[in-house]
Amino acid sequence: MSMLRKAVTVAAVTTLTAFGVAACGGGSDSGGGGGSGGELNVTMTSFPDYVDPQLSYTTEGWEVLYNVYTPLLTYKHAKENAGAEIVPGLAKDLPQVSPDGKTYKLTLRSNMKYSDGTPIKASDFTYAIQRLFKADSGGSVFFEPIVGATDYADGKADKIAGITTDDNTGDITIQLTEPNGTFNDLLGLPFSAPVPPTTPLDKDATNSPPPSSGAFKISAVDAPRSLTMERNPQFKTLTDAGVSNLPEAQVDKITVTQNKSNSAQVTGIEQNTIDFMHDPPDADRLPEVKAKFAERFRMEESINTYYFFMNTQTAPFNDLRVRQAVNYAIDPEALNRVFGGRLHPTQQILPPGMPGYEEYKLYPGPDMNKAKALIAEANPTDRDITVWTDDEPDRKRIGEYYHDLLTQLGFNATLKVIAGDVYWTTIGNLSTPDLDTGFADWFQDFPHPDDFFRPLLNGKNILPTNGNNFSKVAIPALDAKQNELLKQLIGDGGVAEQYSALDKSYMEQAVWAPYGNEEFTTFTSDRVDFGKAYRHILFSQDYSALSLK
Amino acid sequence: MVASIGELEAPGEPPLPTGVSAEEIRGRSPWYLAWLRMRRNRVGLAFGVLFLLIVLACLAAPLWADHVAHTGPNENHITDKILIDGQETYVVSPDGTPVGPGLHGRYLLGADQNGRDVMVRLLYGGRTSIYIGVVAAVVTTVFAVLVGLLCGYYRGWIDAILSRVMDVVWAFPVLLLGIALGTALALGGLKIGALVVAGDSLWIPILIIGLVYVPYMARPIRGEILALREKEFVEAAVAQGKGSLRIMFSELLPNVVSTIIVFFTLNIANNMLLESSLSFLGAGVRAPNASWGTMIADGYQTIYTAPHLTIVPGLLIVLTVLSLNVFGDGLRDALDPRAKIRLEH
């Protein structure tokens, strides 16, 4: 072979190798159908953390599980604030609460079956709560007020004394150690959805999810690549039992696929090979999508807070001045541009739309001079820090921005970018080394400010695994204030204001560096009936409302 | 033409060709002859020069960063403004669109979505990619030469064990092995006794790439050593009472140097390709550090709106690997025109 021919051959092979590896992604044609029925392709940049109602605690997971596992109570399948209304799910009615607020009585509807034909029993609720504790769920902290729950979690009891059930009558009685203003909300979360006792008690059931009690069942899981949802064949047993708040599935099958390329997802929707993407289009494609596909794209309000966590228990972030310096240094407008203009700047814990939200700003900035002065004053001896973020494009960019910021402040920062589908379980695991600081966000689980304090900032939620208190915040006085407020209803006079003050108290300690509230999007293919699709205020896109034209 | 007896310079010496002096012949060492052959290979030389130019440009990255771009490779300038055609322009516009390429010293190739100068990152990324390619090739060469010498010289059980280990490494697809090792070492780094390498250190991809290619170089060297070991000069060395180490390093090794040089050159190219692939897949160079592979990975996310962010580092990989391969082929032809060595994968 001549030298020139060799050169050309090598060039061709090299080009293919260099670019060929980028040729993954894309979508596939899906079958269609008019009106009710057909199949949909949904993509997510990160796969759900768990396909398990007791363990899942991400927006991706809850979007899938909302229409698969129905708790005793549920959140109404409705747009905007109507979706925050708690209504009966598998229970016949809302609970009867004793005058002292400590006893909740519910009755399970009769003759309901899971998707595999197994009868749904009242004791399955107890089993679900037991799983929360034995499988170290991040949601277990919400259910600790049940009498005997902590003893069960600690292995001191073999059952939770505060829950009694009768499988014959369907009666369920829950006793709390003290009144809890959010307990109805908690009973509507996937955490407490009944599952049959064949589900592993202390293990993740992602690879073989329990049978469903909603409009869809999970028919296949290939984590972290894809999962398939199909109509629940036993759904009629639910409606026959009187469940009226669960809409029927509009399509026969939904395939949820992980696709790491946001841009490929956008193109897939434009070309109708993907029907819906969980994540908003990336900043570089957003203007094009807004301009060209206005008839099937809209911005959606979402109640969330984006922040950087800082480990308050180890150097250098155990020094208040260092944490304050970070708050002064951050430029929310820069981060807004990373999000393509979808991030409203903030510097507080509670987001707009959440009861108790009252705007304030303790660390006006960005003020690098002030930040550097604070760092100089603190003069931390340990300047080697690890910055954590996940590999979703905007989050990786946020991490790179934050890494640069900390470098400018004089730290020797190392950036760790890990896969989005294992990010939360990694940083929520106490045994992970070097959990100094990094990206975090929080989307409301239920419309109550306690949801932004208890799981994220309460000292009791520093858990060995699946924790969400990434800053390792444990301030006894503020924990006590949370507990005191929880005994009251949010509508009681002055409670919302006290939550606002609690917000400010935490930020005076600069436990986080919050920087924005993200707007979400709904972007569908041309095949989808866009008018019916909507983003639920708690559970992201409501799959039961997705239908083909 | 055959020289007559009268033309002989000295009795007992072989005859010289007509018109060629003994002085000319004495001056031509094997390396000189190789250089003469290499000099005739214009294409090979041209690509060698091209590689040298790319290396020089990448080495000059700090000069460009300090005196032209006035920014480092990892510095974010999201809300900064620059002057373009006398107008102040955001490096990243409020809707998140970064400034594009243009004939302005700063941001010659535009900015990425973090407001970083792509030209600066490209030059620094080149340093990283070439550095990894070269150092990993040194790692491969050191291990491969040791393994090749030990197996080829001692044979027997040493050869059997080491060759099977090489077979096992060879049996793994290189890219998958690299990804597996890169991912496993990303979080906790590498800790073997006193040897501690941080998860984000460039030594992680260097060691991974360097080690996975050892069998590809060790096996041909072993083959050559096995053949050379039977030669008379080795028997003579043994008869003179030379030790095994001395025979290996002073008698056998010099005879496989040309093979090693050719493999080393070709190995750099393969290493750079593997580094790019690993970095693209998130198992090589760690963010925010730039390499051409990480730049393709970052640019791939915006390939529809800013294709140059992918194409430019991709083209540089192509040019560098191409130049090394063609130059390496030329070296092989020059050093040992009869050899049939190939670095295949």
Of B94, B310, B314, the CB nearest to A337: B94
Distance from CA of B314 to the nearest CA of A (A): 6
Question: Which residues fall within 8 angstroms of residue B286, CB to CB, at 6 or more apart?
Answer: A415, A416, A417, B186, B199, B200
User: Which of A545 and B187 is assigned the larger pLDDT?
Assistant: A545
- Nearest C-alpha neighbor of A260 from the set B179, B185, B282, B310: B282
Distances (CA, A) of A252 to A77, A548, B344: 19, 11, 50
Q: In the prediction, which pLDDT does B337 show? A: 62
Distance from CA of B211 to the nearest CA of A (A): 21
Residues 199-258 in B contacting A (C-alpha not used; CB under 8 Å): 199-200
Tell me the residue type at B280. Answer: F
Find chain A residues with C-beta within 8 A of B276's C-beta. 18
Condensed to tens digits (0 to 9), the pLDDT of residues B270-322 reads: 898 988 888 888 888 888 999 999 999 888 878 888 889 999 999 999 999 99
Q: What is the CB neighbour count within 10 angstroms for residue A337? A: 28
User: Which of A4 and B264 is assigned the larger pLDDT?
Assistant: B264
Q: State the Cα–Cα distance between residues A140 and B29, nearest whole angstrom.
A: 79
Of B74, B113, B318, the CB nearest to A18: B318
Both tokens assigned to B225: 């050593």
Task: Calculate mean pLDDT across residues B231-255.
Answer: 89
Judge whether B134 is closer than 8 Å to chain A, CB to CB.
Answer: no
Grade residue A13 by pLDDT with cuts at 50, 70 and 90.
Answer: very low
The answer to whether A337 contacts B326, with C-beta atoms less than 8 Å apart, is no
Of A6, A285, A405, the CB nearest to B329: A6
Grade residue A161 by pLDDT with cuts at 50, 70 and 90.
Answer: very high
SS (H, E, C) A438-475: EEEEEECCCCCCHHHHHHHHCHHHCCCCCCCCCCCCCC
Judge whether B280 is closer than 8 Å to chain A, CB to CB.
Answer: yes
- Residue of B37, B174, B301 to mutate for A, most A C-beta atoms under 10 A: B301
Task: Calculate mean pLDDT across residues A124-136.
Answer: 95
Condensed to tens digits (0 to 9), the pLDDT of residues A478-536 reads: 999 999 998 888 888 889 999 999 999 999 999 999 999 999 999 999 999 999 999 99
The answer to whether B326 contacts A6, with C-beta atoms less than 8 Å apart, is yes
Q: State the Cα–Cα distance between residues B204 and B207, nearest whole angstrom.
A: 5
Q: In the prediction, which pLDDT does A33 show? A: 36
Grade residue A260 by pLDDT with cuts at 50, 70 and 90.
Answer: confident
Residue A416: which H helix or E strand, with range?
strand A412-418
Of A10, A283, A416, the CB nearest to B325: A10
Task: Calculate mean pLDDT across residues A59-78.
Answer: 96
Q: What is the CB neighbour count within 10 angstroms for residue A20? A: 11
Question: Which residues fall within 8 angstroms of residue A260, CB to CB, at 6 or more apart?
Answer: A25, A45, A391
Question: Which residues fall within 8 angstroms of residue A310, CB to CB, at 6 or more apart?
Answer: A317, A322, A323, A326, A436, A437, A471, A510, A511, A512, A513
**A41: which strand partners?**
A255
Average pLDDT, chain A: 91
Grade residue B338 by pLDDT with cuts at 50, 70 and 90.
Answer: low
The answer to whether B304 contacts A418, with C-beta atoms less than 8 Å apart, is no
Q: 3-class SS at B341?
A: coil
Q: In the prediction, which pLDDT does B279 show? A: 87
The answer to whether B200 contacts A333, with C-beta atoms less than 8 Å apart, is no
Q: In the prediction, which pLDDT does B25 show? A: 62
Q: In the prediction, which pLDDT does A30 show? A: 37
Helices assigned H by DSSP within A99-254: 123-134, 149-153, 183-187, 235-240
Contact A54, A139 (CB under 8 A): yes
Q: Which residue of A has its CA nearest to B304?
A: A263
Distances (CA, A) of A321 to A325, A376, A438: 6, 9, 18
Residues 36-65 in B contacting A (C-alpha not used; CB under 8 Å): 41, 43-44, 47
Judge whether B18 is closer than 8 Å to chain A, CB to CB.
Answer: no
CA B252 to chain centre: 24
Contact A237, A119 (CB under 8 A): no
Find chain B residues with C-beta within 8 A of A397's C-beta. 113-114
- Decide: residue A105, CB within 10 A, 0-12 exposed, 13-18 middle, 19+ buried: middle
Task: Calculate mean pLDDT across residues A321-329.
Answer: 97
The answer to whether A22 contacts B296, with C-beta atoms less than 8 Å apart, is yes
Contact B221, B256 (CB under 8 A): yes
The answer to whether A405 contacts B94, with C-beta atoms less than 8 Å apart, is no
User: Over 80: is that where the pLDDT of A219 sits?
Assistant: yes
Q: State the Cα–Cα distance between residues A258 and A243, nearest whole angstrom.
A: 32
The answer to whether A400 contacts B301, with C-beta atoms less than 8 Å apart, is no
Tell me the residue type at B292. Answer: W
- Decide: residue A50, CB within 10 A, 0-12 exposed, 13-18 middle, 19+ buried: buried
User: Over 90: is that where the pLDDT of B345 sits?
Assistant: no
Tell me the residue type at B331. Answer: L
Q: In the prediction, which pLDDT does A28 show? A: 36
Of B41, B302, B306, the CB nearest to A3: B41
Q: Which residue of A has its CA nearest to B79?
A: A334
Find chain A residues with C-beta within 8 A of B321's C-beta. 10, 14, 18
User: Over 90: is that where the pLDDT of B127 sits?
Assistant: yes
- Mean pLDDT lowest among A103-112, A315-324, A455-464: A455-464
Q: Which residue of B has its CA nearest to A12?
A: B318
Task: Calculate mean pLDDT across residues A56-68.
Answer: 95
User: Over 50: is that where the pLDDT of B344 sits?
Assistant: no
Contact A457, A433 (CB under 8 A): no
Q: Which residue of B has its CA nearest to A21?
A: B277
Residue A541: which H helix or E strand, with range?
strand A540-541
User: Over 50: is that where the pLDDT of A376 sits?
Assistant: yes
Find chain B residues with C-beta within 8 A of A337's C-beta. 78-79, 92-96, 113
Find chain B residues with C-beta within 8 A of A393's C-beta. 301
Q: What is the DSSP letter of A196?
A: -
User: Over 70: is that where the pLDDT of A2 sits?
Assistant: no
Phi, psi (degrees; rounded to nearest 5) at A539: -115, 20
Q: Which residue of B has its CA nearest to A10?
A: B322
The answer to whether A414 contacts B198, with C-beta atoms less than 8 Å apart, is yes
Find chain A residues with C-beta within 8 A of B296's C-beta. 18-19, 22
The answer to whether A6 contacts B97, with C-beta atoms less than 8 Å apart, is no
- Residue of A8, A21, A408, A416 to mutate for B, most B C-beta atoms under 10 A: A21
Find chain A residues with C-beta within 8 A of B282's C-beta. 391, 417, 419
Q: State the Cα–Cα distance between residues A391 and A250, nearest whole angstrom.
A: 33
Contact A406, A308 (CB under 8 A): no
Grade residue A437 by pLDDT with cuts at 50, 70 and 90.
Answer: very high
Of B43, B75, B296, the CB nearest to A7: B43
Tell me the residue type at A94. Answer: L
Tell me the residue type at A414. Answer: T
Q: Which residue of B has its CA nearest to A7?
A: B326
- Nearest C-alpha neighbor of A330 from the set A402, A394, A250, A256: A402
Task: Calculate mean pLDDT across residues B30-41.
Answer: 81
Grade residue A27 by pLDDT with cuts at 50, 70 and 90.
Answer: very low
Distance from CA of B311 to the nearest CA of A (A): 9
Percent composition of chain A: helix, strand, coil (DSSP 3-state, to 5) = 30, 20, 50
Find chain B residues with C-beta within 8 A of A391's C-beta. 282
Q: State the Cα–Cα distance between residues B274 and B293, nearest whole angstrom.
A: 9
Q: State the Cα–Cα distance between residues B279 and B294, nearest whole angstrom.
A: 5
Judge whether B337 is closer than 8 Å to chain A, CB to CB.
Answer: no
Judge whether B329 is closer than 8 Å to chain A, CB to CB.
Answer: yes
Judge whether B318 is closer than 8 Å to chain A, CB to CB.
Answer: yes
Phi, psi (degrees; rounded to nearest 5) at A339: -90, 10
Contact B178, B271 (CB under 8 A): no
Q: In the prediction, which pLDDT does A186 show? A: 94
Largest CA distance in chain B: 92
Both tokens assigned to A181: 């203003």
The percent of residues above 70 in pLDDT, for chain A, comes to 94
Find chain A residues with C-beta within 8 A of B200's C-beta. 414-416
- Nearest C-alpha neighbor of B71 from the set B99, B47, B45: B99
Task: Calculate mean pLDDT across residues B150-163.
Answer: 92
- Decide: residue A32, CB within 10 A, 0-12 exposed, 13-18 middle, 19+ buried: middle
Q: In the prediction, which pLDDT does A254 show? A: 97
- Nearest C-alpha neighbor of A379 from the set A311, A308, A319: A319
Q: In the prediction, which pLDDT does B296 show? A: 92
Q: How many Cβ contacts (< 8 angstroms) between chains A and B?
A: 151
The answer to whether A14 contacts B310, with C-beta atoms less than 8 Å apart, is no
Phi-psi region at B265: left, alpha or beta (left = phi > 0; alpha = psi -120 to 50): alpha
Question: Which residues fall within 8 angstroms of residue B40, CB to CB, at 6 or more apart?
Answer: none
The percent of residues above 90 in pLDDT, for chain B, comes to 39
The answer to whether A11 contacts B318, with C-beta atoms less than 8 Å apart, is yes
Q: Which residue of B has its CA nearest to A399?
A: B288
Condensed to tens digits (0 to 9), the pLDDT of residues A465-481 reads: 888 999 999 999 999 99
Phi, psi (degrees; rounded to nearest 5) at A387: -105, 125
User: Over 90: is that where the pLDDT of B257 sits?
Assistant: no
Q: In the prediction, which pLDDT does B11 show? A: 54
Q: State the Cα–Cα distance between residues A376 and A322, nearest whole angstrom.
A: 9
Residue written as tokens 């290619």? B213
Q: In the prediction, which pLDDT does A113 show? A: 97
Q: What is the CB neighbour count within 10 angstroms for residue A474? A: 16
Task: Calculate mean pLDDT across residues A156-172.
Answer: 96
Contact B276, B299 (CB under 8 A): no
Question: Which residues fall within 8 angstroms of residue A20, CB to CB, at 6 or more apart?
Answer: none
Q: In the prediction, which pLDDT does A184 show? A: 94
Q: 3-class SS at A521?
A: strand
Of B198, B276, B304, the CB nearest to A285: B304
Q: State the Cα–Cα distance between residues B250 and B114, nearest whole angstrom.
A: 55
Distance from CA of B8 to the nearest CA of A (A): 42
User: Which of A90 and B1 is assigned the larger pLDDT?
Assistant: A90
Q: In the prediction, which pLDDT does B286 show? A: 86
Find chain B residues with C-beta within 8 A of A433's C-beta. 187-188
Q: In the prediction, which pLDDT does B24 show? A: 64
The answer to whether B97 contacts A287, with C-beta atoms less than 8 Å apart, is yes
- Most confident segment among A400-409, B2-11, B250-259: A400-409
Got the DSSP string for A344-407? EE--SSSPTTSTT-----SS-S--HHHHHHHHHHH--S--EEEEEEESSHHHHHHHHHHHHHHH
Tell me the residue type at A66. Answer: Y
Condensed to tens digits (0 to 9), the pLDDT of residues A265-313 reads: 999 999 999 999 999 998 888 988 999 999 999 999 889 999 999 999 9
Q: In the prediction, which pLDDT does A489 show? A: 85
Q: In the prediction, which pLDDT does B44 show? A: 87
Distance from CA of A76 to the nearest CA of B (A): 35
Largest CA distance in chain A: 93
Average pLDDT, chain B: 85
Contact A257, A311 (CB under 8 A): no
Q: CA torsion, points B35, B37, B38, B39, in degrees to nearest 10?
A: 80
Task: Calculate mean pLDDT across residues A382-395.
Answer: 90
Q: What is the DSSP letter of B306?
A: -
